[in-house]
A and B are shown apart, each in its own frame.
Chain A
Amino acid sequence: MAEAAIHRRITPPGFGEQVADALLSGRGIWPAVPAIVVLTVVAVIPFAILLSLGFSDFEISRGAIVSQTFSLAHLTNALTDPLYWITFQRSMNLALSTTALCLLLGYPVAYLFLTGGRWTKRLILVLTIAPLLTSGIVRTYAWLVILGGRGVLNSALLQTGLIDQALRIMNTHWAVLIGMVQIHLPVMILPLIAVMSRHDSRLVEASENLGASRIGTLRTVILPLSVPGIGTGSALVFTLTYTTFVVPQILGGGNYLNAATMIYEQVVFSLEWSKGSVSSLILMVTCLIVLVAIALLTNHFTKWTKGHDA
């Protein structure tokens, strides 16, 4: 017994550990294999199937495709349908204006973060990260409370006598836009802060020592350096707002159709698979086009730090 114990202690690692070494030494691709398999099965193959459904006529019986032939009919149907154009245009307008407003409101916060003291910085981080940890529906609900007929805004305006009849904001484009901007503001601010706080603070000091005003420093030093952050923030906000259905559904009432709510209706209510596939593909492609445009613009306006900042 004792011999066996000693033997075990001086022998090199057992079989289990040898296998673990081989797998986890981190030199090979092995540790990533489970993730690759799962991503392939649950993302890559489904995307391929979606693509094939969008570009073919198919017949489904008992949950399996029995016949499938290549066809562009669904795509041309969608592209000639005015409803598609209106809906996608509405989504695009909404997403682009939300992105622009988020940038307009978010950039000053990032500037305040850069120039502010320790407690200012901490406060800004808490106020921007905390909303991301609560549900988007709950945050949209807040706007229902504020903008509703008997909501906070109307009560306040009526009581102060600024208006004598309740404003109708709910279920309009404005309600959707206000909600969208407020809900996605943190997503814009965080990348801006991340890129800005990576700068050498001596650049700002140098600019001020050379006699630049603070607004001049902001315009000629801070702004050009923060272009990558503007790009990342805009890309994130655009993707989210272009493809969301929470805010349009809740604040826009039942009749505010955007791309996401349209896809939802096609897939879940009317069970039109080919329409749903084509709409999803159009959504993905148009989204990608804007993202590429944002990337190109970002690259074009990035100065001095090209190749350093992500």
Chain B
Amino acid sequence: MSVERALEGAGTFLDDRLHAARGVRVLLRKVFPDHWSFLLGEIILYSFIILLLTGTFLTLWFQPSMTDVIYHGSYIPLRGVRMSEAYASTLNISFDVRGGLLIRQIHHWAADLFMAAIMAHMIRVFFTGAYRKPREINWLIGIVLFTLGMFEGLFGYSLPDDLLSGAGLRITEGILQSLPIVGTYLAFFLFGGPFPGHLIIPRLYILHVLVIPGLILALVTVHLFLMFHQKHTQMPGKGRTNTNVVGAPMYPYFMAKTGAFFFFTFAALALAATFTQINPIWLYGPYNPVAMSAGSQPDFYMGALEGSLRMFPAWQWVMFGHTWAFNVFVPALLPLGIVFGGAAIWPFLEQWITGDRSEHHLNDRPRNAPTRTALGIAMITFYGVLWAEGANDIIANHLDIPLYTTTWIARVAWLVAPILAYIITKRICLGLQRKDRHLLEHGVETGIIRQLPGGEFIEETRPVDEEALAVLTSRTLPPPPPALEAAEGEVPPPGMRGALGKVRERLYNVVTESIPLPDSHGNGHGNGHTLEAVGADEHDQPSLPAGSGQSDGGNQH
């Protein structure tokens, strides 16, 4: 009792001064929909928090300096070797700082998980159409965060000044230099002179520990605030509409779950760091500009860039007194430009094609947007080919494939495989739609075969239950553009005229291609399995979940 009174006293004290009770109450009663894929974004947030904590620990010992020192630490094989202070201090963290290697490995694994989870989260948002209005801005912020994460990771990978770091920096320099006209200057400014110089590590350090994490933190805050303000999307289901949010309130359900999930993330990273070695810099040795190891790869989130560089033919021309290094700047900018640029443009392109300007809070099932899903898989395939090509020497070595064969496979596959992936995915989606339609029309097969008195055998089916029905019928198509409805002789509206209008009409037909749902008004089936019958049969379904149906203010529109 005294504890309760003490809490009450503290609460009153705070509320009298901050007037926060009302805001906190709204916060605690905020409803979050539940689906496993909604936790992918939380993996990113929690790995980021762990990155900040472990990174802070590492800064206490790391020396961002390229001053030459002779190593005298406890890693015997490198004793007496000349190296940069950055590399020596990383060795020191790994071998002489208590818990240093563990924290370093947690930091690196967390960076890998951070980027992997960004990819998974982005894929989830894309395939469920969760980027649609009103969430386009958050989608764009996400793409910027992905890009920032790539740079943050690259710079972190470069800091220890080991052999791999230097190789990564050399490629960074090469890509900068390949930019037409300004490239040489940019590389010169970044490195403060010829490669590698003595400035790059301190410069990357301040970018890595202050500037980029600050930007990421700011954008993550905006990202979460927008998500909170616009409310989370939800998966289709019984009682879930475009104007409500069905789920459990923040307190206690969501807080307990998300808190547990943080500990899962930390546990996974701690386990990985305890049992699996990552980036053994002492084996790579200090950076030496004339040395290079076989199997020098970037961390995986840079793999696609590496692959496109490896794949591209060695085209380099001298024109107008300048060297145009197409062999570097085209593969460095074009493929990732297609992926990120395409992802950024797509929500707006889709709106223009479909003319659908309405808000969407209910997620699409991937099969119900066959073209979007197929495009997404095509992009993933495109990225995946480049990614695999980035590891082509490892693949060649371990699978006994000649190196140039892997390069030629990639050169063909980056064009052909996405097209095949598009066609196959679209067919699969339409096939799944047919299956859905079949379920709605004929019900679920029970496996019971009944013999009628007349000797006829019939197969028994039962109607789909309410929950499944809500999922199956969640599909909505945008209204057709006016020109498609325009009767003969009518003049189409301005937006649909001319070449651009023709293109839009054609794209509309591609994007909205789908198998129509069975007509729910029962004209012509008459087989007892129409939708009315399905809906009427369901009386034994569980009622709405406790705590659900709270529409969270009810002001979605």
Same complex: no
Residues on B lying within 8 angstroms of A by beta carbon are: none
Residues on A lying within 8 angstroms of B by beta carbon are: none
